[in-house]
A and B are shown apart, each in its own frame.
Chain A
Amino acid sequence: MKFVKKKNDSIKSTSNAAGNGNMPEFKDNEVTFANIKRILSDSDDINYQIHYINNRPDLSVTLIYVDGMVDTKIVNEDILKPLTQEKAFMEAKNAKDIIEFIENGAIYHSSRKKRLTLKETLEDILKGSAALVFDSEKTAVTFEVIGYEKRAVTEPVAENAVKGSKDSFIEVLRVNTSLVRRKITSPYLRIKEVFAGKHTRTAIAVIYIENITNKKIVNEVFKRLNSTNVDGVISAGYIEEYIKDRKRTIFPLMLNTERTDKFCQYLLEGRIGLIIDGLPNAYILPATFNIFFQAPEDYSQHFVISSFLRCLRYICAVISLTLPGFYIALTTFHQEMIPTLLAYTIVKSKQNVPFPTSTSVLFMQVAFEILLEAGLRLPKYIGQAISIIGALVVGQAAVQANLISPLVVIIIALTGMTGFTIPNQDFSNSMRIVRFVLILFSTIAGLYGLSIGLVLIIYHLNTLDTFGVPYLSPFVASEGKGIAKDTIIRMPLFLMKKRPVNLKVTDKKSKG
């Protein structure tokens, strides 16, 4: 399996830990209150409190935490209360004893870590831990007491779940990983975190099932993640664009999902998942062409129904891509191909329209895209109404004013509707752009141009690969294996005994 790096697509790999999300090394690395205060400076949300342990002034400790990120109730009950009242601390002579007692459970908190470096201490504090800093020992003990506001696990917003689990990922990494753990309780499920973003230091969980997934792909994923050099990871594109194979293609090379069942389903096939802290989606890679047409409901329904719906999606994708270009080609270059009765209908509908067919189609397609984009930006309570009114009134008015032929309106509406049958929004978006290219080709050279455009698209898709897996597999490069099982049609589950061949997984059998 080759992982081809193109010259133009090379990622800057740096051995400098500062660029890839690791905390920089500090000159004075001692864990003291003064050092921490110096580095964190005067942020008003950082709390510094000096407490006397068991009311003994000779035994003081500094509590440091970020206000708003910790659960203060836990801090009070589980950390401060035992520090003040726990009898064990009465026997302590110095800070070293205190630390020993804490390590052995004198404080009622399960998640505690002893930190000997300033870097580790600061990392913990900034991630929502409360730190007890012992200046005399140059040591800190941190407790994970995360208490920031987070969203409840709700239904997916962008991907409707018709029949299947309705929980979706949220912005908190640990909650997301727990959702995955609940579905896959295999002891071989691995969740390994890397950090990305110089200033955000965002945690990215790489999830895979060790005894299934191809090790080479796993290693390549880690390699690419560790070599990303970004300021911060605020949106999904920051990671996606840096680690995917081909930067310039508009086709998605990683599957983006917010559904946990879909995520886990692909992990079981032998793919790798990425969950990014702060983002409510997850990525699946390597993502090949056919998985963008799959939906989790395909495995909840009878295989005949699922196969029918899959075929429908593929047909709708072709229609969505080629219908406007095909219409332009027929009406402008190849009128003899249109049945005569339909030709007369088109002529009648196009009477007195001042614009050529290609201009009308282009105009309506752009208007449709504007409507879609405006619908996204408008507030929810007026967005839907504006979209409907815009479509109806503008479309109707344009037809009645003889600016547009009614058939063009139907063509564009059909194009839009069929485009939305594709389960993956990223792929659907890329098709929106490709459609314009095909419209242009058809305008220039009719069906000949449309054919050239389609050939170029297929050629481009054929040149893509994602983490060593050809993008169009299993349709190509698989010697016919796996084409009939779970691509355009879905075989009964009892016949799908093997994992996808193109992933070259360790454990090929998917049963028992």
Chain B
Amino acid sequence: MKKAIICIMLISYLTVAAGCEAKLLPQRREIDEQQLVQVIGIDKVTGSENDCIITVASKNISGETQSGKSDGGAGEESKGKKALILSAEGKSVFDAVRNIQTHSDKTIFWGHIDYCLIGEEAARENITKYIDFFTRDHELRIDYKIYIVRGSTVKDLIEEFNKSEYYIQEKLESLGKSHKLLGTSDELKDHELIRFLDIHGGSARVPCITLTVRQGNDGQVPDIESCGYALISEEKLVDFIERDISRGVNLIANKIDSSVAVVKDMDGQDVSLEIIQSKTDVIPHFDGDMITGVTLKTKVMANIDEIQSHVDIKSKQFIQYLEAQLSDVLKREMEAVIKKVVENESDCLGICDRISLKSPIKWHKIKNQWLELMLKIKYEVEVSSKIKDTYDIKEPTGSKGEG
């Protein structure tokens, strides 16, 4: 009996000692009484006392969707298929998050958020201001992916896209997988972003998406596509790295898994090369303790995936020509990226991290001045490409018939 009483007292003590002040036991909530939000968007509001508008999307299990506005605005109903969309304004993100609860018949649960979309205007004002709540709050994880929406508000993007046949979370997930194939963008998680911002003085690069249209079965349907990177400097969006040169970012950051480069052969026809491997070494040059320049040496391996002409590809000359073409293309992209980054004074490429690994002692002496130095030093890009394989066939079809 005595032991039983001691056990009960110990259990009660453990419960209290867990740190819950108001409630002794964890909060009970049935899973079907919760709305599992997967995508959240933040837009800046102007012309009102509210600062931001939050839009959330969760999977529409029961087949109905509704959207509403808080703060006295007349509610609008829009019929969507896959997602249940809600939005609410607030003086702060947290305020908006609480206000959005009034539009739902279930308790909104934030623990399943996969994507956080930040509007362009909000990012231009201050990106960390809008993601602080999501990083700080205990209910959210910090492994959700962040995108900046360009060309429209997040609310419009989510609502428009809901008219398509896809669910927005699944579309974004598919987009993330396609980055590995295209190499022109990348997924960025919240914890990676905040770490980058902390280490690089408020600089970062955030992948961008935009609302577009594509041809569907019944005409044009809305779609989402990736459009490069947004440059963040001093926690504000300053510029964009367009999609045509955004591969340069991934090359410098060693984030290429695969990519496609289209070059011209000696006959002026297109040849598609698949980049299968790339590695960029950052070599700092020091004059004493002062850094004078950085050389980015990139080695790329590619395969010939498509030839549109009938050139003899077995010749060494042809291969070397293609390799030189590829190197030129990639070098141009990388140089364009570096130029943009330097112009916008954004330390978003992480070059300093590589310098600190290569020359830690010298880096230690210059790290406090890096943001100024990076604008002055000379950047050199050297790209060497190697073509490895032509896959299943060597000679183009029909090439033997030509005399």
A residues with a Cβ closer than 8 A to B are 331-333, 335-336, 338, 340, 343-344, 346-348, 350-351, 353, 356-357, 444-446, 448, 452, 456
Contact = CB atoms under 8 A, between A and B. Distances in A.
Contacts of A351: 32, 61-62
Q: Which 10 A-B pairs have the closest CB atoms?
A: A336-B111, A350-B32, A331-B31, A340-B112, A446-B26, A333-B26, A347-B32, A445-B25, A335-B31, A348-B61
Contacts of A445: 15, 25-26
A340 B57 CA distance: 14
B18 interface: yes
B136 interface: no
Contacts, number: 62
Given A336-B141, A444-B25, A448-B26, A346 B31 contact: yes
B40 to A, nearest CB: 14
Contact of A448 (B18, B30, B34, B112): B18
Interface of B: 7, 11, 14-15, 18, 25-32, 34, 36, 38, 59, 61-62, 109, 111-112, 114, 139, 141
A6 to B, nearest CB: 11
A347 B30 CA distance: 9
Contacts of A343: 31, 36, 112
A456 B7 contact: yes
Nearest to A463: B3
Contacts of B111: 335-336
A335 B26 contact: no
Given A343-B36, A344-B59, A351-B61, 15 more contacts: A331-B30, A333-B29, A335-B31, A335-B36, A336-B109, A340-B36, A343-B112, A346-B32, A347-B31, A347-B32, A357-B30, A357-B31, A445-B15, A445-B26, A452-B11
B61 A344 contact: yes
A338 B15 CA distance: 24
A452 B25 CA distance: 13
A410 to B, nearest CB: 16
A340 B15 CA distance: 29
Contacts of B32: 346-347, 350-351, 353
Contact of B38 (A335, A340, A346, A350): A340
A347 B59 CA distance: 11
A356 B38 CA distance: 24
A202 B361 CA distance: 89
A445 B15 CA distance: 9
Contact of A332 (B7, B30, B59): B30
A332 B61 contact: no
Nearest to A355: B30
Contacts of A348: 61
B258 to A, nearest CB: 27
A403 B228 CA distance: 51
Contacts of B59: 344
28 contacts: A331-B30, A331-B31, A332-B29, A332-B30, A332-B31, A333-B29, A335-B34, A335-B36, A336-B111, A340-B112, A340-B114, A343-B36, A344-B59, A344-B61, A346-B31, A347-B34, A350-B31, A350-B32, A351-B32, A351-B61, A353-B32, A357-B30, A445-B25, A446-B26, A448-B15, A452-B11, A452-B14, A456-B7
Contacts of B25: 444-445
Contacts of A350: 30-32
Contacts of B18: 448
B61 A335 contact: no
A479 to B, nearest CB: 27
A347 B28 CA distance: 16
Interface centre among B61, B109, B112, B141 (most CB of A within 10 A): B112
Contacts of A347: 31-32, 34, 36, 61
A331 B26 CA distance: 13
Contacts of B112: 335-336, 340, 343
Contacts of A331: 30-31
Nearest to A336: B111
B302 to A, nearest CB: 37
Contacts of A344: 36, 59, 61
Interface centre among B14, B30, B139 (most CB of A within 10 A): B30
Contacts of B61: 344, 347-348, 351
A12 B111 CA distance: 60
B114 A335 contact: no
A61 to B, nearest CB: 63
Contacts of A446: 26
A335 B29 contact: yes
B279 to A, nearest CB: 34
Nearest to B113: A340
B385 to A, nearest CB: 41
A344 B59 CA distance: 8
Contacts of A452: 11, 14
Nearest to B18: A448
